[in-house]
Structure formats: structure tokens, C-alpha cells
Amino acid sequence: MSAKTFGDTVRSSRGLAAAAVPELRSGAAALMVIDVTNFDAHPEHGFARFAREEGMDLDYYWDRVANLMMPNLVLLLEAFRAAAARVVHVRVGAQFEDYGDSQAHFREVHRRSGALRGTDEFEVRNELRPRLGEAVIDKSGASAFTTGNADTVLRNAGVEQLAISGVVTNGCVIASAITAWDLGYQVLVVEDACVGGDADQDASALQVMGSMGMTICSTRELIEQLSPATAGAER
């Protein structure tokens, strides 16, 4: 028998089996799509250009973006929209022209990639374009909660369960997930709708989040817990 982990204890305290994907409760669930913008997640835009200039090998990243994450995000958005559930898009970059408001660790990447609010780089990819009635949170660093106003938006809307997706698993996804978890949200990470820098970074980040008690699930498993009755009635 394997040793019990901290994550097992946390999940058990919530009354959940270790591997179970929880039922999404009416009015309390939201999908968060992190940084699937032209800058961060389009092979012909800012970060891709920056990576080529730096000689970075991102074959794993771009293959997973195109062939796994994007198709699954389309499915997730369709499902959450059909259920009238909350959808939150997160964008990253600067708002001042000199990039002075970018988080210091990201400022040079934002500047060289042109991730400035009002430009195409800053926008969500066309395939996932936000619709009227969906939240858009802008952040200047890694976490949508510490460098963006995600907590205010979600808490005011009565969200308690947060399904997190996007890029990168080992960066802004894990930073946002840990902050949300620490603020008391029930966090689900959709592993096949996230992408890390490489396979090892993906696996390590998911392992850390799972060990803390977050639910790691697939797109299919999450959609199975979502129905048209999930969100609309109690707003």
C-alpha cells in the first residue's frame, strides 16, 4: 500500500475520494483560461519570435498547443457556455507604453514580444475570443490573483470551484492555481488543456498541484460533471 500524501489528506477533509472529479455545483463553478493570447500561445506572434531569437527548443510546447490544448479548450468553452457557467479569460502584458507596470521578472519578455494592452499580441486567440458576459482579467505577472483582480471578480460572482487551463503549466498556471487554492477555492486543473515548457515541466507541475490536494482531471472528465443545470438557475 502506498503512503498517504498531504494531497490525500486535504481531499479527504473535503469528503472527496483521492481520484474523484467533483460534481460542479450550480452557480459556483467557473472555467479560467490563462494566457491563451497571441503573445503567449500563437506560433506566429510575440513569445514565439522571442523564443526563436533566443534559440529555445519549444517543439513540445507548440505541438501540444496546436494538437491538444486548443481543441480541448474549444470543447470546454462550448460546454461551459452551453451550461451558462462562468468563463474567465486571463491576458498578460503591460498597459503603460514603457512596460513599467509589467512585473519585473517578465518586463523584458513583454517588451521584446510587444505584449502591450491594445495590440494584437495582448488579445486572446481568435478561436477562443471572449463573448459578451464573460470576464477578462488582465495581469502583469504570473498569478491572476496577485498581479490581476481574479479574486475580486470570482468572489463577487459567488465562484467557489475553479477549473484552470492554459499556459504555461509550470508558470502562470501553477502560480494562479496555488494562489487560488491558498485563498480557499476548490481548484481543478485540466491537464490536457494546459501546456508546459516540456514534458518534464508539465509532469512536475501537475504532480505538485495534485500533491497539494487540487483535482487533476481531463477535459472529458470535467465536461462529464457539467450539465445545463449546473450554473444558470441560481445567479
Cα(123)–Cα(92) distance, integer angstroms: 9
Share above pLDDT 70 across residues of the chain, in percent, rounded to a whole number = 88
Cα(131)–Cα(218) distance, integer angstroms: 24
The residue type at 68: L
Smallest Cα–Cα separation from 136: which of 153, 155, 115?
153
Q: List the domains of the chain with CATH numbers.
A: 6-18+25-223 (3.40.50.850)
Q: Based on the number of CB atoms within 10 Å of its own CB, is 55 exposed (0-12), middle (13-18) or buried (19 or more)?
A: exposed
Look up residue 96 and give its three cell numbers: 503603460
CB atoms within 10 A of CB 84: 16
| Summary mean pLDDT of the chain | 88
List, for residues 188-217, the tens digit of each pLDDT value. 999 999 999 999 999 999 999 999 999 999
Task: Please provide residue 116's backbone torsions phi and psi, each rounded to the nearest 5 degrees.
Answer: -125, 130
pTM of the model: 0.88
Q: Which residue stretches of the chain are H helix?
A: 6-13, 38-41, 46-54, 59-64, 70-82, 107-113, 150-156, 174-182, 199-211, 219-224
Q: Band of the pLDDT at 11, cuts 50, 70, 90?
A: very low
Cα(119)–Cα(131) distance, integer angstroms: 19
Rg, the chain, Cα only = 17
Which residue in the block uniquely carries the three cell numbers 500524501? 5
In the chain, how many H helices and how many E strands?
10, 6
Look up residue 149 and give its three cell numbers: 483582480
Reduced to 3 states, what is the DSSP secondary structure of residue 81?
Answer: helix
List, for residues 134-162, the tens digit of each pLDDT value. 999 999 999 999 999 999 999 999 999 99
Of 4-8, 41-45, 151-155, the poorest mean pLDDT is in 4-8
Counting every residue written for the chain, the total comes to: 235
Q: Band of the pLDDT at 6, cuts 50, 70, 90?
A: very low
Cα(38)–Cα(199) distance, integer angstroms: 22
The residue type at 208: V
Cα(165)–Cα(177) distance, integer angstroms: 10
